[in-house]
Amino acid sequence: MSNQSIPFLRKTGPTWELIVDGRPWVLRGAELHNSSLSSARYMNTVWQNLLDMGINTVLGSVTWKCIEPVEGEFDFTELDSILKGAEAHGLRLIILWFGSFKNGKSSYAPSWVLEDMIRFPRMLLRREGKWEVTGTLSVLAGEGVVADARAFKTLMNHLHKVDTQRTVIMVQVENEVGCLGDSRDRSPIADRLFNAAVPVDLTEFLFSEWDGLHPDFKAIFGGLPEVLQNLKEVTHDKSKNHSWREVFGDNTRADEFFMAYYYARYLEQVAAAGREAYPLPLYANAWIPFRPKKGETSVTGPASGGSKPGEYPSGGPTTNVLDIWIKYAPSLDFFSPDIYAGDYGGNCAAYSHKGNLLFIPEQRRDDYGARCIWQAIGSYGAIGVSPFGIDSQSARECAFTKHYKLLASVSTILAKARLQPESMFGFFMHDFESVEADEAITKNFREFDVTITRELAFGIPGPGFGIIIELEAHRFLCIGAGYRVMFKSTSPTSVYTGISNVVEKRVSDAESGLLETERHLGGDETGADEWVNMANEDPDYGEMKVPILFPARTMIAEATVYTLEPSQDIEK
Integer Cα distance of 220 and 287 in angstroms: 18
540-557: burial string, b at 16+ Cβ within 10 Å, e else: eeeeeeeeebeebebbbb
338 and 444 within one domain: no
434 and 400 within one domain: no
pLDDT in tens, 44-83: 999 999 999 999 999 999 999 999 999 999 999 999 999 9
Question: Which pTM value belongs to this model?
Answer: 0.94
Q: Please identify, among 362, 382, 409, the residue that sits at the C-terminal boundary of a domain.
A: 409
Please tell me the predicted confidence (pLDDT) of residue 545.
Answer: 59
Based on its alpha-carbon atoms, the radius of gyration of the chain, rounded to whole angstroms, reads 26
Please tell me the predicted confidence (pLDDT) of residue 296.
Answer: 65
Using CA of residue 185, residue 188, residue 189, residue 194, what is the dihedral sign? positive
Instruction: Label the pairing between strands 57-63 and 92-102.
Output: parallel
Please tell me the predicted confidence (pLDDT) of residue 292.
Answer: 85
- 74, 67 Cβ separation under 8 angstroms: yes
Integer Cα distance of 44 and 48 in angstroms: 8
Domain count, the chain: 2
Please tell me the predicted confidence (pLDDT) of residue 293.
Answer: 79
pLDDT in tens, 425-448: 999 999 877 666 678 999 999 999
105 and 9 within one domain: yes
Q: Is residue 302 part of a domain?
A: yes
Q: Is residue 158 part of a domain?
A: yes
Q: Is residue 245 part of a domain?
A: no
Please tell me the predicted confidence (pLDDT) of residue 412.
Answer: 96
Q: Is residue 79 part of a domain?
A: yes
Calculate ∠ Cα 343-346-350, nearest 5°.
Answer: 135
511 and 378 within one domain: no
Looking at residue 495, which CATH number applies to its domain?
2.60.220.20
Q: Please identify, among 409, 441, 475, the residue that sits at the C-terminal boundary of a domain.
A: 409
Q: Please identify, among 386, 409, 432, the residue that sits at the C-terminal boundary of a domain.
A: 409
Please tell me the predicted confidence (pLDDT) of residue 130.
Answer: 83
Q: Is residue 217 part of a domain?
A: no
Domain, as residue range, for 53: 3-184+252-409
Which parts of the chain sit beneath pLDDT 50? 1-3, 223
Please tell me the predicted confidence (pLDDT) of residue 1.
Answer: 39
DSSP-derived secondary structure for 347-377: HHHHTTGGGPPP-B-SB--SHHHHHHHHHHH
Q: Is residue 81 part of a domain?
A: yes
